[in-house]
Structure 1
Amino acid sequence: MPCLKKVKLLLLLLFIVVFIACSQNKKNKQTCFLSEKYTHFPYRINQPSRTYVLSVELREISGLTYKGDHKLLCVNDEQGSIFEYDTQNRKITQRIKFAKKGDFEAVELVGDKAVALRSDGKLYFIEDLSHSKSESIKVKTGLGDKNDTEGLAYDVSNHTLLIACKGLAHNDSAYMDKRAIYRYSIKDSSLSQYPDILIDQGELETILNLDPYTKFSNKLLKGGNPSKGNLTFQPSALAIHPISRNIYVLGSVGKLLLVLSPQGELLAVNRLKHKIFPQPEGICFTPDGTLFISTEGKMMSGKIYQFDYKPNTKN
């Protein structure tokens, strides 16, 4: 009985902390932060210009990339398949089976081939996108389950892949409370020894003006698991803007969209409305800068949102 009372007391304390944190954050919540070097955010991120409601196969959509000709390539959490989605006709037009079931989190187009990322750090290179079934080559990157890899972006300038880790940034304790983006060389089949880009959770807490209650609840909720770390922000997808070359990093945990310079400097932080983005896990661009973000449906349908590119014409 004493143990049961302690558990109940802990749960009550946790509820109070989270409730106070949520109440505090509703007051004077800053929806967008822009650095001095970045004075204009080119999207109305909580006002999509178009919404695509997905069928049941993509309820748990976890990644997407732009193929061309109004087509998006998508993956979900459970199946080793790529789904081609036509935004003009608003339907799935092709399904390509490339592997057994697995926790696939992202897909990227590299030339006329595709690469899928699994949460344990493995990459699947898919050669043929023209048939319903395709052979794939599985490659170990050196990242693993503790890193919880979720984001993938192709950097055409140097033929490399950026891989974002939702979990452990590095075994070195100096990387505690950081979020890591590694660079993988396709040519050399090698991963950077250390993160190419680091996202500082403390910097985000300062920008978002998080109160002590929220910080404390984050520490309680992570349950002592070092791979979870600080829950202020956990990357779930990333993409490189085709015009500015800035890196857009999406976070389902934290409900944030970050903009980083190509060198990793934090330029912007955008809060995402939970009502629109219950679980955002995919992001990509068209060559003209049109932005697509996908969100899992949870108990409802998955969705893809389209955002028109609005550059600053004054500059």
Structure 2
Amino acid sequence: MRLLSFLLILSFPVLFSCKNNNKNHKDPVIVYLPQKNSTDSSSKNNATNFKYDLKNPGHTWKLPAQLVEVSGNTWIDAEHLILIEDLHPVLYYIKIDDKKATLEKTIPFATEDKEKFDIEDVTYVNNTVYALWSHGVLFKITDWQTKPVIDKIKTGLKKENNTEGLCYDPVTKNLFIACKDDPGVPDAKKSTKAVYQFDMENSKLNEKPFLLINKKDFESVANEKISFNPSAIAVHPVTHDIYLLTTRDNKGMAVYSHDGVLKSYQTIDKDLMPQPEGICFSPDGKLYISSEGKKGEAGNLFEFDPSGN
């Protein structure tokens, strides 16, 4: 008899939940069965996986007049970044404080009258600066603060790849190069994009892409197929997630785990950032995005604190 009573008590919540078909009933549901393809679920996971509020920067700096078409940035120290812009092979050494961004120094790294450049990104590794030309060429700049020594490196990537993103990866200790156009992969779809590793020790490009960006992957986090054309790349210093910007058809930011799983996608307000093409992190995880300005004005630099800070 006791056993029968015990079984009846256990079964009561299940029977109650099955019989209650009133849609307006407000009592809590006992058991939740999440649906794998639920739009609400994917949107919630997308928001949870993203740690920055791209609509509300903690700081905004108007950049010096030379940086209208700003195309890349890299963190140097708590008061300084190096930025670059499309048309001139020059490093712009910028000091930032609570009020303004000041140009302290310019460092040319190529002769402009010999070639027409499209400089797309920049990164800083062990006191050395690397700048990226869209034709797949790296400029390695040592002793940049005193007497710069420049080494021009052909990576093997070409103009057709349109190399736009560059950053250092502390995990592999290589450089990442993101291609905006041709991924360099046989039989790949036109919408597929690629990120390659450049072996710094051997000064050689790894032939196999480190990451492939596929349009269909965005359905799981954005509920639609996103045309993603990377314009900048950075690796988070703590999580080692890979952050990528896109600007051509959509303005947004994608976050991949270091093993290549798309974790989130967030749109960027084009009124705030008309052309976001530069991204980097400070060691404590602050996010910096640089964007061209409006209607020929100088660009802007934005700082975002991670959520909870």
- Give the structure-1-normalised TM-score: 0.78
The one-letter code sitting in structure 2 at the alignment partner of 1:272 is I
Overall identity of the aligned pairs, in %: 35
Q: Does 1:144 align with 2:122?
A: no
Contact 1:124–1:136 at 8 Å: present in 2 too?
Answer: yes
Give the drift of 1:179.
1.1
Following TM superposition, the consecutive aligned residue runs of length 4 or more in structure 1 with deviations greater than 3 angstroms are 32-36, 205-210
Gaps of at least 5 residues in structure 1 are 1-29, 216-230
Partner of residue 304, structure 1: 301
Give the direction of change, closer, same or farther, for the CA distance of 1:75–1:206 in structure 2 (3 Å limit): same
Give the drift of 1:176.
3.5
Give the drift of 1:159.
2.1
Give the direction of change, closer, same or farther, for the CA distance of 1:45–1:125 in structure 2 (3 Å limit): same
The one-letter code sitting in structure 2 at the alignment partner of 1:304 is L
Please show how residues 182-201 of structure 1 align to structure 2 within 5 Å.
Answer: 182-201=196-215
Instruction: From 56, 61, 64, give the equivalent of 1:55.
Output: 64
Q: Which moved more, 1:241-250 or 1:99-108?
A: 99-108
Partner of residue 218, structure 1: none
Equivalent-residue separation in structure 2 for 1:205 and 1:164 (angstroms): 22
Give the drift of 1:277.
1.3
Contact 2:291–2:300 at 8 Å: present in 1 too?
Answer: yes
Contact 1:283–1:294 at 8 Å: present in 2 too?
Answer: yes
Partner of residue 239, structure 1: 234
Equivalent-residue separation in structure 1 for 2:223 and 2:162 (angstroms): 27
Give the direction of change, closer, same or farther, for the CA distance of 1:241–1:206 in structure 2 (3 Å limit): closer
Equivalent-residue separation in structure 1 for 2:142 and 2:255 (angstroms): 31
Partner of residue 272, structure 1: 268
Q: Deviations over 1:236-291 (max 9, x none)?
A: 00101011111100111210100000111100100111101110000001011111
Instruction: From 84, 102, 117, give the equivalent of 1:91.
Output: 102
The one-letter code sitting in structure 2 at the alignment partner of 1:163 is I
Contact 2:171–2:240 at 8 Å: present in 1 too?
Answer: no
Equivalent-residue separation in structure 2 for 1:135 and 1:80 (angstroms): 14
Give the direction of change, closer, same or farther, for the CA distance of 1:298–1:120 in structure 2 (3 Å limit): farther
Give the direction of change, closer, same or farther, for the CA distance of 1:69–1:206 in structure 2 (3 Å limit): closer
Please show how residues 135-284 of structure 1 align to structure 2 within 5 Å.
Answer: 135-204=149-218, 207-210=221-224, 232-253=227-248, 254-284=250-280
Equivalent-residue separation in structure 2 for 1:270 and 1:173 (angstroms): 29
Q: Deviations over 1:182-232 (max 9, x none)?
A: 00101011111121101111222564344xxxx8xxxxxxxxxxxxxxx81
Contact 2:180–2:231 at 8 Å: present in 1 too?
Answer: yes
Partner of residue 223, structure 1: none
Equivalent-residue separation in structure 1 for 2:204 and 2:189 (angstroms): 21
Give the drift of 1:175.
4.5
Partner of residue 128, structure 1: 143
Which structure has the bigger radius of gyration?
A: 2
- Give the structure-2-normalised TM-score: 0.79
Equivalent-residue separation in structure 2 for 1:206 and 1:242 (angstroms): 26
Gaps of at least 5 residues in structure 2 are 1-39
Count of matched residue pairs: 262
The one-letter code sitting in structure 1 at the alignment partner of 2:178 is A
Equivalent-residue separation in structure 1 for 2:259 and 2:223 (angstroms): 25
Equivalent-residue separation in structure 1 for 2:223 and 2:60 (angstroms): 31
Equivalent-residue separation in structure 2 for 1:73 and 1:134 (angstroms): 15
The one-letter code sitting in structure 2 at the alignment partner of 1:62 is S
Contact 2:72–2:232 at 8 Å: present in 1 too?
Answer: yes
Give the drift of 1:54.
1.1
Please show how residues 279-298 of structure 1 align to structure 2 within 5 Å.
Answer: 279-298=275-294
The one-letter code sitting in structure 1 at the alignment partner of 2:174 is T
Partner of residue 126, structure 2: 111
3-state SS, counterpart of residue 136 of structure 1: strand
Instruction: From 71, 88, 91, give the equivalent of 2:80.
Output: 71
Contact 2:213–2:228 at 8 Å: present in 1 too?
Answer: no
